[in-house]
Amino acid sequence: MRLILLGAPGAGKGTQAEILSRLLNVPTISTGNILRAAMKNGTPVGLQAKAYVESGKLVPDDVIIGIIEERLQEDDCKNGYVLDGFPRTLAQAKALSGFAKIDGALSIEVSDSEIEHRMEGRRICSKCQATYHVEDNPPKVEGICDKCGGQLVIRKDDIHDVVENRLHIYHEETEPVKEYYRQEGLLLAVRGQKKLADTTQLVFDALGISL
């Protein structure tokens, strides 16, 4: 299965992508993870992308398209993959159709107010990258990771002003991608739930997956 996951930042695409990846035994291709690794390692792409990501702006299409096209040519993608965070613009969607055949585009629908609650309360371990939420999934000791004892930090793209800007960009530039896949007959949509398991079940139902 060659699947795209769509949805606003913080909608839960990454979590559902990992669940589907394990179930279907295909890789998750996350542009966010690829870019964060590139930024951490100081690669040319990482340096190019850093200023855009930290201000909540989209990385230019040509940079992202090149990364994805290269990644999908690797051996582990031969039997399928789950794309998380790509395509984010209409230009990216059209470019993707030139080098990949997609089986479906699944949109996880979550309101802006819920996205703001999720992202502004999110905390990330500075050591092991484990994720917490100050209200919905707090650590046992405030500010300290349960798993490794690392310090919990707020990612720069989870700050209020950046979250608002990311949502504005999503509505303006990414929502047309949904219409593109609707016209292609590939769009599926589920309503994101407060409980992870409930969203997962809706995703499975939409994709016709039974356990």
Residues assigned a catalytic role: 13, 88, 122, 155, 166
Residue 137: alpha-carbon gap to chain centroid:
19
User: Exposed, middle or buried: residue 73 (CB in 10 Å: 0-12, 13-18, 19+)?
Assistant: exposed
Q: Does residue 155 contact residue 35 with C-beta atoms inside 8 Å?
A: no
Give percent helix, percent strand, percent coil of the chain, each to the nearest 5: 50, 15, 35
- Write down the residue that tokens 């582990």 correspond to: 76
Phi, psi at 152, each rounded to 5°: -90, 135
3-state secondary structure of 41: helix
